[in-house]
Structures are given as C-alpha cells and as structure tokens.
Homo-oligomer: A and B are copies of this chain.
Amino acid sequence: MPAAFPSSVPTIPTAPLTARIRDALRAIVGEKGLIEDEHGMQPYVTDWRGLLVGGAGAVVRPGSTEEVSKVVRLCHQHGVAIVPQGGNTGLMGGATPWPAHTGILLSLGRMNRVFDVDPVGYAMTVEAGCVLQTLQETASQHDRFLPLSLGAQGSCMIGGNLSTNAGGVQVLRYGNARNLVLGLEVVLPNGDVWDGLRALKKDNTGYDLKHLFMGAEGTLGIITKAVLKLWPAPKDICTAWLAVRDPSAALEILSEAHAASEDNVGSCELMSRSAIDMILRHIPGVQDPLRADTPWYLLLEWSSARARRDGTEGMSEKMEQFLADQLEAGRVLDAAIGQSVGQSRNMWRIREGAAAASRAEGPGLSYDVSVAISKIPDFIDKGLKAVLDILPSIRPYPLGHIGDGNLHFSFMGPVGMDQQTLNQYTAAITRAVNDLVTSMGGSISAEHGIGIDKLDELSHYRSKTELDIMRTIKRALDPQNIMNPGKVLRV
C-alpha cells in the first residue's frame, strides 16, 4: 500500500487563516466549535491508518447546517480551502488534508441528530455526523433495517459513508450506500444550501443531483443531511459455510441461490483457505467451521423479513435443500449451517477478522478491485499468476464480496521479508494488478474510493474524456477549487 503522499503535490489553494477569519469562524461556531492547537487538531489531520499526516489552520466543528453554510460562505469569500470530515475512517486519505493545507478541516461530528423515523414510509431523516451503528440501532428500535454495514460502523459517520458511496457486506442485496438514499441536503462550495431532502422514491424533475454529490468525496460540496431508505428487519436468518470446488463453482452457487432462497440472498463472501488460516492464527476464539482441505470457501447468508412459523419452511430448511442439491452437483464439497447465533456469529468473525489479522501478520499488500461478476475466476487466475511472477514467495490470501464482483485481492509479504524490502516490489505489483483489472473492464477502486492514495492511478487508468467530464463538473461547481482540493482529481 502507498505509505505516504504521492510525490507530486496537486495545485491546492493556499489562502491562510488570518486573525480576522479566525474571529469570524469563532463568531459562527463558538469556542467549542473551533480547535486551533496542534495537539487538539492531531486526531483530525491524521488518517486512521496513521500513514498520512496533513496540515490545517484550524478544525471547525459546526453544530448545524446553518453554521456549515456560514463557515463555507466565509471560506469562499476569502479563498480558504476546506477539507470535510466525518468519522475519519476512510482508507484512501480522502478526509485527510495535504501537508500544505492551510485552510480549515470541517468536522461534521457535532451534527448527529435523527430528525424523523417513518416506519410506514420506510425512511429516516438524519444529520451527516450520525455514527452508522447508532443509525442501525435506531432503525432496529422501530423494527426496521438500515442495511449499510461495514467494519468501521462503530465510528464512521453517515455523511462520510455517502460521500464515499460506501460498500460493505450487504451490497449484494441492498446496493451501495447511494442506493440507500432518497434525498440529500448539501452545502455547496459557495455556501448556498441545496435542499434536496425529499423523501421521494420517484422524482423525475431535472438532473439527479444527489447521485453527483454521493461518491464525490466532498470535492463538490458537503453533505449535511440525508433521507435514508429503510427495509423490514430480518427475522429469519440462515448462515452457512461452504467448502466449494473453485471460484467458478462459487459463482454458479450464487446464481442458483437467488431463486432457491426466493431472492433472499443477503451476503455471499468468498474466502481462500490461506485467508482463513491467517485469521485463525491471529483472531482469538474463532473456530474453523469446517475442517476441509480445499482452497476455497463461501460464507452464504440468506435472510427473510418473515419470522418462522411452525409448520412452514424457514430459511434453514431452504438452505439445507439447496446445499443438498449443490453437493449433488459437485459444486459444494462440504458445508456447515450455523445452528445457533453463536455459530453464525463465528462465521462472520472469520470474515470480519481479515483486516485485523493482516495487520497482525506483518507487511502486506491489498487491492480493492472489481470486475464483472462472471469474470472473477479468470481474474483470480491471471492476477495470481501476474503477482507471483513478480514475487514468487509472496503469500496470496484473496477474499471478497463475490456477489458484487468485488475482490479484496490481498497478499502477505514473503515469510521474513520486512516492509522496506516488500516496498521495492509494490509499484510493479500494483501496476500489474491494475493493468489486468483495466484490461478486463474492471475498477481499480471498487468501494474504497480515490482520496489521495489513488489520485495518480485514476488519472492513469481513466480515459481523457472521462477525466475531462469530471474536471469540467468540478471547475463549474467549485471554480476556486476550495472544496477538498487535491482529492479524486488534479484540477
């Protein structure tokens, strides 16, 4: 992984915070909303991986949309650049300022109100600084389900999730973060507030602006509120762990699972034996659900909003029948169905333990890529070969959201190799992986975004036409380039 800022710094506006601007900021957000000392600012300007440490003239923490609007208007008047930030859990440095940044870091963390939960209309109106897990719990208290679910949910904030169009383990069924949104409120680079906070499933009145701001990583404006869609709470969940013949079989299993589950496939996560072994080495208390000696596994979860009734078929009966058919067809070699919440939880702990285990294991590399679902087996074959050609002793442990065509194509460094030595191979491996992804019509950043880390890769791999459209939009909406400058695009 790139462990530092790209060497070529993009043009970013450098208007500093004068004493007058600081006074004006204080007048808007009050003392409690302004952090100016280095120590206080440090957690905000450091990305959570600890890899990037940026600069800032001040951290500003507004308490309302009105305050955000006033702060942005002030910055706009003085050409002061703004880095918006939610829970600061991004993986690409999108919420971390460049070291040369002398403007403000605008944290949404104080704006954490839930305004409305509408269980009949399956919608919820919230402020950008709400922590994702809190929103999941709020929905649950109303017997509803907010499907967005990812590792950082205890600290990431919904505004950041939407700005990065977060993915996670429920995308297969419910879509990316952008699919969970009915309406948005956004503060524009000139301080104007766009009130698109409509709770409408259908609205064909001009350009769809909300989809433009989602995934823009704060470069076109600051998301301050959202109307989120809700779903019925799952009541009957069946989690299974399958040893599968190979990734092709995994795809065929998924393809047939849609119908067999009556369109109730919730998650379908591919794991390699090497990933599982690494996780078992490092995550205490986790059990291997199947002692099989085969390289590929699938965590398959089906869930229904209908509670089981006696005498009717529940999810686990459907799953049992399905797995019997798949064993018969030779796609599944062995399988275990979670017979208790504890057993199902254990399967999920394996899947979710990958990030922590890889940190404990030592130096490594990981690529968050996607291809068309049906190309996954071919990508795995060719990708492993390309990387092993460069560094034969590297230890692959691929895993990922196979139902989304999204692999975390991951590698532990060779046994005994230190980070510095591994770094010598990183550029070549990254290029090989991304060249392959691109040649297969895939994406070099399936869910983690661009931020700072992939700025140069985006400009290398996307067509001039595509980059031109993006730049044209950025320049039109933020002509001063004050909104999260030097992220996503070099303008």
Cβ of A201 and Cβ of B259 under 8 Å apart? no
Give the chain B neighbours of A204 by CB distance below 8 A: 164-165, 167, 176, 215, 443, 445-450
**Given known contacts A306-B260, A465-B195, A470 and B202 CB-to-CB distance under 8 angstroms:** no
Cβ of B215 and Cβ of A372 under 8 Å apart? no
Cβ of A201 and Cβ of B458 under 8 Å apart? no
**How many copies, total?**
2
Task: Count residues of A near B (Cβ-Cβ below 8 Å).
Answer: 98
A447 to B405, CA, bound (A): 31
A276 at the interface (CB under 8 A from B): no
A263 to B450, CA, bound (A): 35
The 8 closest A-B pairs by CB, nearest first: A211-B211, A476-B476, A121-B374, A199-B372, A259-B305, A203-B443, A202-B446, A121-B373
Cβ-neighbour of A208 out of B121, B178, B463 (below 8 A): B178
Interface centre among A171, A262, A263, A488 (most CB of B within 10 A): A262
Cβ of B458 and Cβ of A202 under 8 Å apart? no
Cβ of B442 and Cβ of A200 under 8 Å apart? yes
The stretch that binds B, out of A250-258, A293-301, A344-352, is A250-258
Binary contact track A447-491/B, C-beta < 8 Å → 1, others 0: 111100010001001110111111011111100000000001100
Binary contact track A275-287/B, C-beta < 8 Å → 1, others 0: 0000000000000
Cβ of A444 and Cβ of B201 under 8 Å apart? no
Chain B residue at minimum C-beta to C-beta distance from A302: B262
Give the chain B neighbours of A208 by CB distance below 8 A: 165, 178, 211-212, 214-215
Binary contact track A370-408/B, C-beta < 8 Å → 1, others 0: 111111000000000000000000000000010111100
A47 to chain B, nearest CB (A): 17
A185 to chain B, nearest CB (A): 11
A197 to B216, CA, bound (A): 20
Cβ-neighbour of A200 out of B371, B454, B463 (below 8 A): B371
